[in-house]
Structures are given as C-alpha cells and as structure tokens.
Amino acid sequence: MINRLFAYLFLLSPLSIGYLSAAEGLRTLPETAEAMGKVGGRHATLGDASVVRANPASMLDLDGTHFQFNFQLWHGTTEFESDITGQTLNMEDPWKPLGSLFLTHRVNEDLALGLGFGAPFGLSISWPSERPLRYNVPYKTELTNYSITPGLAYRVNQQMTVGVGLDIQRSELRMSQSFPYALLSGGLLPDNRFEFLADGWGIGAYGSINYDIDDRQRVSVIARTPISVDYEGSFEPNDPSGAATPSTFLTDMTFPGSVAFGYGLDLSDKTTIGFDFEWVMNSSHDDVPLDIGAANQPLLAGQNTLPLDWKDNYSAGFGIEHQATEELTLRAGYLFSESPISDYNYSPAIPANDRHIFSGGIGFDMGQNHIDLAYSYIHMADRDISRNFQADALGSGIPAVAGNHSYGWHIMTFSVSREF
C-alpha cells in the first residue's frame, strides 16, 4: 500500500516543487514602478537604482548616490474546473507582497558601484486542504528566494559602458501534500499530510553592455548565468502506518540563465520609446531529484526524480515614457511572455499559460526625492487540458487535471527613491 501511495503522489504532481511562479517559469517580474510602468521596453531606458541588477552598465547614467525602496502587491485569481467531476478549485491567499532595496553610487565619470536586495525568483500558491482533487495537487507550495546583488559599472569610451555583478541567492523550499491513506486502506487509516522542507545557497553572475549609437539611440545587451542551488532539509511524514519516518530531504534546482536585448530611442526631448527581447533558458529545469534518506527512499517506488521537461522561452514587448511636466512623467508598456510548460506536464499546481502584460505608471519628481507608481494586468487565456495528455498514477485511466484552467493577476508597484 505504501509503495502505491508514494507512486501516486510523485506521478500525479511532478511539478509542484519545480514550478512556483506566475507563468514564465520561476522568475518574478521587474521590481520597480518605473520598470513595470514601461514593462516591455525597459532594458535600454531604465533610469532608477534597480539597474544595479537589471542592467548594471546603466549605473553610470545616475549622478551621485541613489537609494530606492520598492513594494509590489500581487492579487491573483486561479480556478480549475474538472472535466471529470465538474467540481471547481480556487486558489487561496490571492494577495502576494514583494519588496526590494537598491543602492548605487557613481565614484567618478568612469566608475559606479551598486548593491541590491530583492526576490527575483519564486511565488507561492496554496489551495484548500480539503479541496476536491486534494490528492493530485499539493495544498501549499512555496519557493522563496532572497538575492544579494553587488554590481560595478565602467565606462570604456564615450559610447560604451559595461557592467558586471554577482547574484548571491538564499532559497527556501516548502511543499505540503495530502496523502490518500483512507483511499488506499479502504477507510482503515485516516488521510494525513507530509511536509518537504529545505533550503540552500547559490551564486551566479551577470553582465551588460550599453552602446550609444548617437545622442538619441542606445542598444543594450544583458546576460545572466544559471544559478544552481543544492537544498538540504527535512522530510516530515505524519504516517499512521509507521512505514515512513522523519528523515533528511535533499534536492537541487537550477534557476535559468537568460540573454536580453534592448533598444531605446528618444523621439523628442520629452518622449522615449524602448523595445525589448529576452530569451530564457528554462530547459535548465531538466528534473528535480528526490532524496528522503536511505530508510524512506524505497517508498518512492523508483520515482527518485521529478521530470520537468520545460522548454526555453522568450518574451518581447515595448514601453514608452513621456515627461509631461518637470515634475510629472507618464509611462505605458506591453510585454508578451511565452510559457515554458506544455500541456503534457501541466498541473493545477502550475497556474501558467502564455501571458500578456499591460501596464501604466506615473512618476513624481520632487527634487532629491522621487515617487513612482505603476499598475499592471497579466492576462492569460484559459487553458483546456485534454484527457489524452494525462493519466492517473493508480492506473484507473482517469486524467487527474483534465479540464479548464483560468487565471489572471493584478499588480500594484510603489517605489520611493532619494538622491544624495
């Protein structure tokens, strides 16, 4: 019975550990109101302190010292309607807060330094623990990443600046899952919940080049290496049969590298437009190993890894910024982002589809102080998963997640910064 139970869990929800974000993969969206306001055209035109991570070569565009605080609030709706039962599943805890801090300092005309603290990867999702299909989807999955990013920019000549940085990440992983003891024991044992808890560190690097074609045009190239994190923690079963006992839990995950291209054009002294294209190496998510200790490992029934089989994906868009007055700046943008996840490996634990992001924002300049606000809406078309793509791990032939999946996100971003 226990072997069948573990096979049931790991075959039905193989992506619950690997995917915890909002559609593009594991990455969150830009963290500042200026970047979100012109979300599809920011790479070559961004002018706030977050460039220490977003495009470090642009730190030389900022005079003196800049300190910035950002707060982002997400509100999401995610719903699954089963083709099999007709029952509906809605996400709990729709509000998701994020925050970040950035600091830049221009040492002289040719050198600038910066430091950032943020959360570039990860987003949690939870479902009612007594929901329909409770055995098919973890009721809580959380991936939290804390990133420290020191950066440096150097001016090569009047037209070219380069920047480099390190991405030092602390990552925490948690999954909570209901287990069908009652189903598999004919009601002799109650259902219980198992916890997978782990954390780890990883480090990567990134760099960028800005090239001013003339006084009105700039191109930017930004590249990031993948970041591998080795996780270590605990597997905590509440097992009425006594077959599973607490043990260590080991796994690893690779956060994707990327290459981005940006083009910025000053249409006038007051209006700038930008165009972005980015390729993301989400195929680095090959699989997620599962190591729950020598005593418990046989219970996985040979399912010692979680195959993901994601594909590389891209995003593309544009953004525009207009200085309406000396104190007021207006922004708007659009970004299309392809999902790396196919129908074949889809799960209700993965609220994902190709996404269209529409944004608008305003900025207030008050001398040394700046306040920026942005609103963004993420539209994702409903996703209908065919019964032909999914199979029940117990061999009944009933697809676990066949049905209609619908979702959308609203994002408010607030930034305040000060020049010294």
Most confidently predicted of 183-187, 210-214, 401-405: 210-214
State the chain's mean pLDDT as an integer.
83
pTM of the complete model: 0.85
The Cα diameter of the chain in Å comes to 77
Q: Out of 98-102, 149-153, 226-230, 349-353, which region has the weakest mean confidence (pLDDT)?
A: 349-353
pLDDT digits (tens, 9 = 90+) for 221-269: 999 999 999 999 998 887 666 667 889 999 998 889 999 999 999 999 9
Closest CA to 270 of 322, 313, 230, 224: 322
Residue 376's pLDDT is what?
96
Residue 94 has pLDDT above 50, yes or no: yes
Closest CA to 102 of 127, 90, 119, 85: 119
The matching CATH number, chosen from 3.90.1170.30, 1.10.357.10, 2.40.160.60, 1.10.10.10, for 2-419 is 2.40.160.60
Residue 163's pLDDT is what?
98
Give the 3-state secondary structure of 285-320.
CCEEECECCCCCHHHHCCCCEEECCCCCEEEEEEEE
> Two tokens at 318?
């544009």
Average confidence (pLDDT) over 264-288: 91
Most confidently predicted of 78-92, 347-361, 394-408: 347-361
Closest CA to 130 of 190, 188, 196: 190
> Two tokens at 352?
């994902």
Which residues of 140-226 form beta strands (DSSP E)?
A: 140-155, 160-179, 192-212, 217-224
> Two tokens at 329?
């700046």
Residue 398 has pLDDT above 50, yes or no: no
Percent above pLDDT 70 for the chain = 77
Residue 348's pLDDT is what?
63
Residue 189's pLDDT is what?
67
Residue 302's pLDDT is what?
67
CB 405 within 8 A of CB 382: yes
Q: Per-residue confidence at 126, pLDDT binned at 50, 70, 90?
A: confident
Most confidently predicted of 88-102, 215-229, 373-387: 215-229
Residue 393's pLDDT is what?
39
Question: Tell me, what amino acid is at 13?
Answer: S
What is the CA angle 165-52-265, rounded to 5? 115
pLDDT digits (tens, 9 = 90+) for 177-206: 776 666 555 666 666 777 889 999 999 999
Higher pLDDT, 81 or 248: 248
Residues across the chain: 420
For 417, residues 6+ apart whose C-beta sits below 8 A from its C-beta are 48, 49, 66, 67, 68, 69, 369, 370, 372
Structural domain boundaries in the chain: 2-419
Q: Per-residue confidence at 383, pLDDT binned at 50, 70, 90?
A: confident
Other residues' Cβ atoms within 10 Å of the Cβ of residue 288: 21
Q: Out of 86-100, 133-147, 387-401, which region has the weakest mean confidence (pLDDT)?
A: 387-401
Higher pLDDT, 408 or 201: 201
Residue 205's pLDDT is what?
97
Question: Tell me, what amino acid is at 206?
Answer: Y
Residue 307's pLDDT is what?
67
Q: Out of 65-79, 224-238, 265-279, 382-396, which region has the weakest mean confidence (pLDDT)?
A: 382-396
Average confidence (pLDDT) over 64-83: 87
Closest CA to 280 of 302, 311, 237, 325: 311
Average confidence (pLDDT) over 366-383: 92
What is the distance in angstroms between the CA of the first residue and the CA of the last residue of the chain? 66
Residue 76 has pLDDT above 70, yes or no: yes
CB 291 within 8 A of CB 249: yes
